[in-house]
Amino acid sequence: MSNFWDLINIDEYWDKREQFNEDRGDISFYCKDCKEIVETTRPKEKKYTFVCQKCEWTNTVIGTLEGLKSNYRIK
Report the interface residues with Zn ion, using CB under 5 A: 31, 33-34, 52, 54-55
What distance in Å separates the CA atoms of residue 48 and residue 7, rounded to the nearest whole number? 14
Q: How far is the CB of 35 from Zn ion (least distance, A)?
A: 8
Classify residue 6 by its DSSP letter.
H
Contact 7, 33 (CB under 8 A): no
Nearer to Zn ion (CB atom), residue 24 or residue 54: 54
Nearer to Zn ion (CB atom), residue 10 or residue 32: 32
Q: How far is the CB of 52 from Zn ion (least distance, A)?
A: 3
